[in-house]
Amino acid sequence: MPLPDLRDLSRAALEAWCAEAGEPRYRAVQILTWAHRKQAASFDAMSDLSRRLRERLAASFSLAPLAPTVVATAADGTRKLLFHLPEPVESVLIPQTERAGGARDRLTLCISSQAGCGMGCTFCATARLGLLRNLRPAEIVGQVAAGQRLAAPAQLTNVVLMGMGEPLANYEAVRTACEIMTAEWGLAISPRRITVSTVGLAPEIPRFIAETRVNLAVSLHATTDEHRARLVPVNRRYPLKELMAACRAVPLPRRKRITFEYVMLAGENDADADARRLVRLLHGLPAKVNLIPFNPFPGAVHRPSPRAQVLRFQALLREHGLNATIRESRGQDIQAACGQLAAARPAA
Ligand code: SAH
């Protein structure tokens, strides 16, 4: 049996281990600070712990960092990291320049929560893999640590769980990963700079946001149950009525909004009537809409909406007072754009 990874533990779990080991409770934060904040490479490096404790830790846990094995760089500067866990898992590092040298420049890391995905959305390359397995917390936060190492000396500004997998189908691990990402002893990233994107597992949504305080994005993609079930099979389990009720139940601080993602598929969900139904569906919700031009992949059955229709759709939403943005496609030439993560072949 391999030892459990220290970086899989929540603070509460390590406090319980400390109590068992006869160590004071505060030791847990001290150890976690070494593991996450200081990215210690070994237990031996944890120099302010007694030798006895370091030996006990080494006998109980492993502490292996995650190393991406392939890094590809796109023409637009987007970089893709491939991890062999040993299942292939990908992260994408996306530099976004607001204005030349502007203070609002962002460096966003898009990470995966599962190897493969079991949700079966028809327009997503990851769905073709099926669910291989849930990632552990260490494998989720390890992507962030690896992304930060690659980005240095620049700092990651945002983390989005929009890579492979459905985060809320791996609830406990993603919750613990959010705890580690946001804790002072952890990666110390503000929850305002973290976004979890869900296909719409309605029962988990309000609880998850209450427990983590991160931002929520919901993959909507269609405005009637019939349309949505065709694209997003999980809609049969959690239809729009239930999904919208869950969104309304999300505890949001003032001025915070839920992002609704909407992939633009030609002739499928991009008609003017869809835009009008979307306005009605989101009425009264603190919502913003992020329109995602469809990123094709080998074997895809959908086609991207023409640019003119994406712009027209956005204009219709805006006319009705909805905040609507278009997500510019990044890293397409290295298969790093939304929905293209399938780790099918080593990128150039
Ligand atoms: N499972 C989660 C997060 C992963 S997908 C979710 O469903 O939200 C992140 C976003 O990319 C989702 O909105 C998803 O619908 C979108 N997406 C998937 N495939 C895409 C493609 N081929 N082109 C554009 N966006 C895509």
Q: Which residues of 174-211 are buried (b: 16+ CB within 10 A; e: fewer)?
A: bbbbbbbbbbebbbebeeebbbbbbbbbbebbbbbbee
- Confidence band (pLDDT; 50, 70, 90) for 348? very low
Confidence of residue 347 (pLDDT cuts 50, 70, 90): very low
Using the mean position of ligand 1's atoms as its centre, give its distance from the Cα of residue 20 in Å: 43
Q: Which residues line the pocket of ligand 1, CB cutoff 6 A?
A: 121, 123-124, 162, 166, 197-199, 219, 261, 263, 292, 294-295, 338-339
The whole-chain average pLDDT of the chain stands at: 94
Which pLDDT value is given to residue 344? 59
State the CB neighbour count (10 A cutoff) for residue 38: 12
Question: Using CA atoms, how far apart are residues 178 and 191, in angstroms rounded to an integer?
Answer: 8
Cα atoms in the Cβ-side hemisphere of radius 13 Å centred on 181: 36
Residue 13 has a pLDDT of: 98
Tell me what pLDDT residue 252 has. Answer: 85
Please give the average per-residue pLDDT across 28-36, as a whole number.
98
Q: What is the mean pLDDT of residues 190-209?
A: 97
Q: Where does the chain have alpha helices with state H?
A: 11-20, 27-32, 51-60, 137-151, 171-182, 205-212, 225-231, 240-248, 272-281, 307-319
pLDDT tens track for 91-135: 999 998 876 555 678 999 999 999 999 999 999 999 999 999 999
* CATH 3.20.20.70 for domain 70-334: yes
Please state the domain extents for the chain: 6-60, 70-334
Expressed in angstroms and rounded, the spacing between residue 249 Cα and the centre of ligand 1 is: 23
Residue 151: burial class (beta carbons within 10 Å; 0-12, 13-18, 19+)? middle
Half-sphere exposure of 293 (CA within 13 A, CB side): 16
Catalytic residues: 90, 338
Per the CB < 8 A criterion, the answer to whether 25 and 131 are in contact is no
Amino acid at 83: F
Nearest CA to ligand 1 atom 12: 219
| 71 has a pLDDT exceeding 90 | no
pLDDT recorded at residue 69: 81
Dist CA 342 CA 345 (whole Å): 8
- pLDDT at 346 (0 to 100): 42
As a whole number of Å, the end-to-end CA separation of the chain is: 36
Report the alpha-carbon distance of residue 297 to residue 124 in Å, rounded: 8
Predicted confidence at residue 70, as pLDDT, reads 77
List, in order, residues 6 or more apart from 161 with CB less than 8 Å away: 110, 111, 112, 113, 140, 167, 174, 194, 195, 196, 197
- Smallest CA separation from ligand 1 atom 15, residue: 219
Q: CATH number of the domain at 6-60, out of 3.40.50.12780, 3.40.50.10540, 3.40.50.300, 1.10.150.530?
A: 1.10.150.530
What average pLDDT does this structure show over 181-208? 97
Lowest mean pLDDT segment, chosen from 45-49, 169-173, 250-254: 250-254
